[in-house]
Amino acid sequence: MDFSPIIEFLFGQTSRLMLSLGSHFSLSSLFAALVIAALFFAWQRVKRGRRLRWRVIARALFPKRMVRHSSNRADIGYLLFNVFLYGIMFGWAVLTYQFVTNGVIAALVAVFGPAAPSSLPVIVSRGGVTILLFLGYELGYWFNHWLSHKVPFLWEFHKVHHSAEVLTPVTNFRVHPIYSWIFANILAFSAAVAGGIGNYLFGNTAYQYAINDTNLILVIFIHAYVHLQHSHMWIAFTGALGRVFVSPAHHQVHHSGDPKHFNKNFGSCLALWDWMFGTLYVPSKEREPLTFGFPDRPDAHKFKGEVVDPFIKAAAHIKPLLPKRVPPAVPIAERKRA
């Protein structure tokens, strides 16, 4: 039996995940997060007048309680599923980017007339498209995230992500397949609309600046601090900075079990949409006491609790909306006999 296609697939998926600079989980971005975290811990110790002990910093970066936690083991399982199986099972159902982009361009032409040829320098047109596509990604991310919290049917699938009791960069993969499918389609739509607007404004030949097909601005954010959003690193952006960017503390607050933090901070990299739509919570500079997960979910880190049960619970939200079955009418003659 020839196993070479399977081996080639496994190596290909691993390479795209870990070695591509545009990947959301590249070795380069993970290393950048590790360096930033180590420097942050070192600075914290120096500020408190303590000696720099690299062994202490290593234990602070990888606390045994988190590494050995069942929640972390479940996250690793989700990583393997999403990298090696999700694309095979659901990739065919993602909305076509080019189809929506062409529709947006056609609508703009119908309303405003044909686009005038752009005379802008290439760096301006490509820069403009890059910014538009990044903002489109951010808005699509925010809207999908907001929707997943506000619609009970969708919340049952998104709740899987919030069942994590410890946060690590791998927690980013802790998502139900249905949530991933909906997210991919909303993201494709928002990016396609932004792409259509960009093409109409800057010309059909204007392409974004990207690394391995990933928006350059997003790649910068991934390497800067996005991995630290799912971590125990309390790095908080406050003031004006906290109204523009989603710091690690912003997203940790989003996972909090404290009711005052519920339905806050839905953004990915930017806090602008949260600020604009009234869902922003700017964390304090000092660490706030946070707890994660749901204490009433004994199967939180098991296949049944995280993959099967969401279907059952989501169906329970739909059942009351379905038309009730009307019993057949009994003939009058039969009613008299009764």
What pLDDT sits at residue 148?
Answer: 97
**In contact, 120 and 201? CB cutoff 8 Å:** no
What pLDDT sits at residue 206?
Answer: 72
**How large is the C-alpha radius of gyration of the chain?**
24
The separation between CA 22 and the C-alpha centre of its own chain, rounded to angstroms, equals 16
pLDDT per residue of the chain (338 residues) written in tens, 0 to 9 = 676 777 887 888 889 899 999 999 999 999 999 999 999 999 988 888 888 888 898 999 999 999 999 999 999 999 998 888 766 655 555 667 677 887 888 898 898 888 877 788 889 999 999 999 999 999 999 999 999 999 999 999 999 999 999 999 999 999 999 999 899 889 989 998 999 999 888 876 678 999 998 999 999 999 999 999 999 999 999 999 999 999 999 999 999 999 999 999 999 999 999 999 999 999 999 999 999 998 877 788 888 888 899 999 999 998 887 777 666 666 655 555 55
**In contact, 230 and 168? CB cutoff 8 Å:** yes
| pTM metric for this prediction | 0.90
Distance CA 265, CA 275 (A): 9
Beta-carbon contacts of 145 under 8 Å, excluding residues fewer than 6 positions away, are 158, 266, 267
What pLDDT sits at residue 64?
Answer: 93
What pLDDT sits at residue 87?
Answer: 63
Buried b (16+ CB within 10 A) or exposed e, 252-286: bbbbbeeeebeebbbbbbbbbbbeeeebbbbbeee
Residue ranges per domain, the chain?
70-318
Q: Which amino acid is at 83?
A: V
What pLDDT sits at residue 235?
Answer: 96
What pLDDT sits at residue 335?
Answer: 54
